Amino acid sequence: MSGLTAPKGTFDVLPPESERFLAVRETLTAPLRRAGYGYVETPVFEHTEVFSRGVGESTDVVTKEMYTFDDRGGRSLTLRPELTAGLMRAFIEHRLHTGALPVKLWTIGSAFRYERPQAGRYRHFTQVDMEALGVDDPALDAEVVALGVQGFRDLGLTDFELLLTSLGDATCRPQYREQLVAYLDKLDLDEETRRRAEINPLRVLDDKRPEVQAQLDEAPLMVDHLSDSTRAHYDAVRQHLADLGVTWTEAPRLVRGLDYYTKTTFEFVHNGLGAQSAIGGGGRYDGLSAALGGPDVSGIGYAVGVDRTLLAVQAEGLHIGAAAGVQAFVVPLGEEARRLAVRLVGQLRQAGVAADTVYGGRGLKGAMKAADRSGASHVVVIGERDLAEGVGQLKDMRTGEQHPVPVGELFERVRASVGE
C-alpha cells in the first residue's frame, strides 16, 4: 500500500530506538512498583465531559486541543488528552475510595492533543501517570515528588530541575483571585486573554508572550497569600523533601496547564531541551473527584512524558537500553540441519536463552553475517559433514574459539556457555 504515512504530528517507535524507549518506560515505572502503586488500564477514549469537567473549561487542552467526535450512537467521545481524569473516573466508578486509603495507582499509555507539532511536542505522546488518592498528607506529597525524581535519577539524568510552589486551596484562593483580577483589569490585554482571565485568572500568569509577561512584574503571587493551614502544609512538604535528599527551585509563577491543581504543584524541567523543557509535572488536586461527581476526596499525582524524557536522555548522551540482541545463534546448512536448528532454537528459548536462526535458505556467508549482526556471544554451525559425524561446531564469538560438540549435548553446552 503505497503513499500511506502516519498522521501529521505522530511518530512510530521502531527498533533499535524502541529499546531505549522501553528502558525509559521501565525505569520511570520501577520506583512506583517498589512503593506499592498498583497498575491500572483505562480506555483511550472517554465521554467528553470526563475531560471538560475534569481538566477544566478554561484550559487550552479543552478549548483547542481535544480530539472529540460523536460515535454511531450520537455520544460525544474524546481521545484522552491526559491520563489523570480517566483514572479518576475509574476510581469513582469502581468505588475504590471505600477500601484502604490512600489508593495508590499508576498507568502508562498514549494521550492525544491537537497542537502545532514541533520538537518535543507531538499530537500523540506517551505518559507515565501516577496518583495517590484519598489522603491529604504533606508526607504523601513528598513521596509522590520524590518518586518522580527517583525515576530521572535512575536513568542517570543530572541536568533536570524540580520547580515547586503551592497554589493554595478553597480557603485562600478566592481572596487571592480577587486581587489578581483587580491587577489584571488594569493591564492592556487582548479580548481572548481577558476572557481567559475571567474563567481562570491564574492562567494569564502562564502566558508565554513577552508583551503579556512584561506587564506581570508586579502581579500578586499565590504563594504570598497562603492561609495559615496551606502554608503549614507547604512547609511540611518542603521539610519532608529535604529529609528525602530532594532539592528544588521555588517557582511562585508556576501554573500547570490543567485547572484542577491545589496546594503542592510542581514541574520537572530539563535544561537540554530548549523551548519544550518540561518533562513532567503534577500536583495536588483536592477538588477533582467532586468535580467528576465522585466523593470529595483529595489526591496528588504526576505525569511524565516518556518521549520527552527520552529526548533528555539523548541530550545528556546517556546510553541506556542496549539493542535487543540474542545470546545464541544457530546456522544450519542443508535440510536435515535445518530441522535440528529449529528444534534447538525452540529448546533454548523455552529455557530462557535468547536464541535465533536464519530463515530463507541463506548460504554460509550470508548466515554468518546474520549471526554476527545478531550480537550473539555463541554461534552453532551445523554443516552436512558435521551432521554425518553427529556434531555441531560451537563458536565463542568473543574469543573466536570453536569446538565440535555432540548433537545430543548441544542444548546443555550452549545453555551453560551463554551463562558464563
Residue 262 has phi, psi (to 5 degrees) of -140, 160
Residue 256, annotated as binding a ligand: yes
Residues 241, 238: Cα–Cα separation, whole Å: 5
Rounded to the nearest angstrom, the gap between the alpha carbon of residue 383 and the centroid of all alpha carbons in its chain is: 48
What single DSSP character describes residue 121? B
Quick one: how far is CA 262 from the chain centroid?
23
Is residue 392 classed exposed, middle or buried when 0-12, 13-18 and 19+ CB atoms within 10 A define those classes? buried
Question: How far apart are the C-alpha atoms of 380 and 394, rounded to whole Å?
Answer: 5
Report which secondary-structure segment, H or E, holds 229.
helix 228-243
| Residue 261 in marked binding region | yes
Parallel, antiparallel or unpaired: strands 38-39 and 103-112: parallel
Is 260 annotated in a binding site? The answer is: yes
Cell 511536542, residue located? 121
Question: Is 113 annotated as belonging to a binding site?
Answer: yes
Name every residue whose Cβ is closer than 8 Å to that of residue 212 and which is 6 or more positions away in sequence: 189, 193, 204
What are the Cα distances from residue 403, in Å, to 194, 326, 342, 353, 408? 80, 20, 21, 20, 15
Q: How many CA atoms lie within 13 A of 325 on its CB side?
A: 17
Q: Per the annotation, does 183 bind a ligand?
A: no
Which residue, 75, 86, 138, is CA-closest to 110? 86
Q: In what order do the strands lie in the sheet with 402-406?
A: 355-357, 328-332, 378-382, 391-396, 402-406
Secondary structure element (H or E) that encloses residue 148, with its range:
helix 138-155
Check if the beta carbon of residue 115 is closer than 8 Å to that of residue 145: no
In 245-383 the beta strands, taken as DSSP E runs, fall at 249-250, 262-270, 278-284, 299-305, 328-332, 355-357, 378-382
290 with 303: CB under 8 angstroms? Answer: no
Residues tagged in the binding site annotation for L-histidine: 82-84, 113, 127, 131, 256, 260-261
Residues tagged in the binding site annotation: 82-84, 113, 127, 131, 256, 260-261
